[in-house]
Amino acid sequence: MSKFIFEHDLFVHGICFRYTIIQFEEDGKQRYAAGVGVVFVDEGFQMLQGDILDDINDAKLYLQQLYFSKFEIEKETLFLCELTRM
């Protein structure tokens, strides 16, 4: 069974980028899928970049690196606040 443990939507020029961490079990071990995708008006979703990681802290760091590589530093505050609250 999998569950969403983090979602953050960032709107840039009318485009919704969704940053997500999903927790799931594989071979009896907790794993984490982390990535960013685009959400479309009709609720379609296209993954842009993601990875499967063994540790929640690695998943958080991965999302943080994706975020900083794509968008202005001034938008980091809200994103990091939400990420550290989970």
pLDDT digits (tens, 9 = 90+) for 21-48: 999 999 999 999 999 998 988 878 888 8
Q: What pLDDT is recorded for position 1?
A: 84
Based on DSSP, count helices (H) and strands (E) in the chain, helices before strands: 2, 4
Q: Give the end-to-end CA distance of the chain in Å, rounded to a whole number.
A: 19
Please name which of 73, 86, 69, 70 lies closest in space to residue 8, comparing C-alpha atoms. Answer: 86
For 3-85, give the CATH class: alpha beta
3-state secondary structure of 1: coil
Rg (CA), the chain: 13
Give residue 60's identity as a one-letter amino acid code: K
Q: What pLDDT is recorded for position 46?
A: 87
pTM of the model: 0.74
Q: How confident is the model at residue 15 (pLDDT cuts 50, 70, 90)?
A: confident
Q: How far apart are CA 40 and CA 52, in angstroms?
A: 24
Domain ranges of the chain: 3-85
